[in-house]
Amino acid sequence: MTEGQIDGAYHRLNAALLQSGQYSGMCSFVGRIRNHDLVNTTINFECSDGGIIVMDASQAVLPENADFSAAPVVEAITQVMDPNQVMVCKTMRICNC
């Protein structure tokens, strides 16, 4: 469903939409990073619907001196690999709400 993206506009998904298997390609998620293991390059990400997805962060561009202890709301631009896996391309802080 992501063919024909215009000007960097991506489908904004949540955990349920990802797991539906209807989306592929570049998508974005809004939520909170709950924990991250940068040694194994994985992030547990709580989506806006409360569902948790695991992100591959091996190719991520994370903010310099990233501190996710306060669990800021972020938008993650990702490449959907399959209904259970996404690869993070970039994250952007939205707010500390």
Average pLDDT over residues 29-35: 88
Residue 4 in any domain: the answer is no
Residue 60 in any domain: the answer is yes
CATH of the domain at 76: 2.40.50.140
The pLDDT, as a whole number, for residue 97 is: 60
The region of weakest confidence among 13-22, 33-42, 45-54, 70-79 is 33-42
The pLDDT, as a whole number, for residue 18 is: 95
79 within 8 A of 89, measured Cβ to Cβ: yes
Residue 5 in any domain: the answer is no
Domain span holding position 89: 11-95
Residue 2 in any domain: the answer is no
- Ranges of H-type helices in the chain: 15-19
The pLDDT, as a whole number, for residue 74 is: 85
Residue 61 in any domain: the answer is yes
pLDDT, tens digit, 9 for 90 and up, residues 73-91: 888 889 998 888 899 887 7
How many domains are contained in the chain? 1
44 within 8 A of 56, measured Cβ to Cβ: no
The pLDDT, as a whole number, for residue 59 is: 79
Residue 6 in any domain: the answer is no
Residue 70 in any domain: the answer is yes
